[in-house]
Amino acid sequence: MRKLLIACGLILIGAVSARAQENRGFEVSGTYQYTRFNPGNGADGVNCQGGSGSAGAYFTAHIGVIGEVGACKVTGLPSGASAHDVSYLFGPRVYIPMNRGRIFPFVQALLGGERFSTGFSGLGSGSSNAFASAIGGGADVTLTRHLSLRAFQLDYLYTHFNSASQNNFRLQTGLVYRFGR
């Protein structure tokens, strides 16, 4: 896992240092994030709300590598209990070519990890790390030459905590700023 993260980081750094040419560029985004965690084994699902930030380098007008970090706080817990989640994912994103317009759909497949932390008043806290992957897509709506609205990004978020698989989903919306694209 660590080698995969290092390889993705090196690819991203290499892309950043590449000379800018037509159709190449970079983007950064900040989004609101809603995640529905389904722990499985008959346990009820929980809602988690927070934010996410990403940076991407594009090799062509349509293909790039994205690094994303998101964090959220679980809502609806009893008094004295708290839970937080942090995800760190890397992978390719492909914008789907369309006729000239303002809407740009994309698909992506990201791999990485997730850290889930819990705490209880007077009882202490704990955390666990796990493999995570996000497969999905969304659509950006161009507002100006450099600024876009990420109208939506919907991902199937797979995690594997404590020898059990969880099938979750994640919804994001926010702003994207592009350099050289």
Q: Report the CATH number that the domain containing residue 46 is assigned in CATH.
A: 2.40.160.20
For residue 119, give every residue at least 6 positions away whose Cβ sits within 8 Å of its Cβ, in sequence order, or none.
81, 82, 83, 125, 126
The answer to whether the CB of 128 falls within 8 A of the CB of 114 is no
Across the chain, what does the average pLDDT equal?
87
Q: Cα–Cα distance between 43 and 86 in angstroms, integer?
A: 21
Give me the domain span that covers residue 76: 2-17+24-179
Give the pLDDT confidence of 50-79 residue by residue, as tens digits.
999 999 999 998 999 999 999 999 998 888
Taking Cα atoms as reference points, which of 107, 162, 176 lies closest to residue 138?
Answer: 107
Taking Cα atoms as reference points, which of 93, 90, 92, 86 lies closest to residue 68?
Answer: 90
For residue 149, give every residue at least 6 positions away whose Cβ sits within 8 Å of its Cβ, in sequence order, or none.
140, 141, 143, 173, 174, 175, 176
pTM of the model: 0.81
Block means of pLDDT (10 residues each) for the chain, length 181 residues?
A: 56 47 81 91 87 95 95 90 94 88 94 93 85 96 94 95 88 94 65
For residue 9, report the phi and psi dihedrals to the nearest 5 degrees. -65, -40
Look at the chain and report how many structural domains it folds into: 1
